Amino acid sequence: MLDFLAALRIQDAIDILLISYIIYRIIDLIRGTRAVQMLIGLGIVFLAFLSSQYFELYTLNWILDNFLSSILLVIVVIFQDDIRRALTQVGTRPFLGTTKWIEPGELEEIVRAAVALASKRIGALIVLQREVGLNQYIEVGTRLDARVSKELILSIFLPNSPIHDGAVIIHHGRIIAAGCFLPLTTNPHVSRTLGTRHRAAIGLTEETDAVVVVISEEEGAISLVREGRITRDVDAGTLRTTLQKLLGA
């Protein structure tokens, strides 16, 4: 053991730490997603390949051998959504520093609006853009470019408002657009009890680094969605604290 430690170079130690960190981040990224089941499936296929060699099942071995020879292409096709999400998040990790996306006063207006909407059981989708641009969703909505305020957010989501359907997108303390339609998640493991708003919020955060606040009109509850994961029944204090951390307010 001592001989091994003596022979270990500083470069080797750094190499081991980097690989360990990368593996940890990959596991953290796919945890709770359909990628876990896909990896299990690929593992079963590989075990079947080894078994076909051992038991001399030549036809099965030939089929699996041809399949596994294109494994890199297979992985890219199967995990394209997860790979895209991972790449968009590479430059937004905490060790690169925290960017201030909103001022404390503007964040407070959003929290107050969310609480007011929940108390009135008015459904809403509030998207907080960070580094990844959302122009493709802004373009299909109604451009506003207005200062964030509780009153304006409430007026947008009132049932008789012409732009109450869809989401509000906020960036650097400005309401950029309203009535924006978001991509629905295709994750089959998302609870069937979740409605269209929650599925749209999950879908957007699977593809971007945006943070989404969802208000359910059925339950009058607030949910917070990020990185394809949803936290339900969030109170005002938790919402405020979490948004402060995520948006650098």
Is residue 220 very low, low, confident or very high in pLDDT (cuts 50, 70, 90)?
A: very high
CA angle 17, 21, 27 (to 5 degrees): 145
Residue 148 has a pLDDT of 96
For the chain, the domains span: 2-95, 104-247
Residue 147 has a pLDDT of 95
Q: How far apart are CA 105 and CA 82, in angstroms?
A: 35
pLDDT value at 89 more than 80: no
Residue 91 has a pLDDT of 54
pLDDT in tens, 117-166: 999 999 999 999 998 889 999 999 999 999 999 999 999 999 999 999 99
Residue type, 198: H
Give CA torsion, residues 77, 79, 84, 88, to 10 deg: -160
pLDDT value at 7 more than 80: no
Mean pLDDT across 182-191: 87
- CB burial of 62-78 (b: ≥16 within 10 Å; e: otherwise) equals eebeeeeeeeeeeeeeb
Residue 29 has a pLDDT of 66
Is residue 245 very low, low, confident or very high in pLDDT (cuts 50, 70, 90)?
A: very high
pLDDT in tens, 18-40: 888 888 877 776 665 566 777 78
Q: How far apart are CA 122 and CA 113, in angstroms?
A: 11
Mean pLDDT across 226-230: 91
Size of the chain, expressed as the number of residues it contains: 249
Q: Could you write out the DSSP letters of every residue in 197-225?
A: HHHHHHHHHHHSS-EEEEE-TTT--EEEE
Fold of 104-247: YojJ-like (1 (3.40.1700)
Q: How far apart are CA 214 and CA 232, in angstroms?
A: 9
